[in-house]
Amino acid sequence: MQRRREENSSVKFFNKFARGFALLMTLLYVALGLFILLADEQRLNLTIPETVKTILGGILILYGVLRFVRVYQGSKQKKRYED
């Protein structure tokens, strides 16, 4: 019985860590997308056409938002399952 409690607490810790890491990554994707969209050529130190910057920045922001929605829905379903 004691071993099962230890395994359960380590699984809960890993799930919290994974959820936190996923949220951190969503923030990084959105931040990188905004940086690419808003940074001037000197800051990026690359000569990228404006349309490519817009598309790449938009894709990164969209991907970050989609990941956030998936993490949020997954945590919401997990809480419902635990109750």
Report whether 64 contacts 34 (CB < 8 A).
Answer: no
User: Residue range 41-53: average pLDDT?
Assistant: 83
Number of domains in the chain: 1
Taking 70 as the threshold, does the pLDDT of residue 78 lie above it?
Answer: no
Q: How does pLDDT run across 1-45, given as a tens digit for each residue?
A: 455 555 677 888 888 898 999 999 999 999 999 999 988 877 777
Task: Supply 47's token pair.
Answer: 């000569």
Which range of residues forms the domain containing residue 60?
A: 2-82
Q: Cα(83)–Cα(76) distance, rounded to whole angstroms?
A: 11
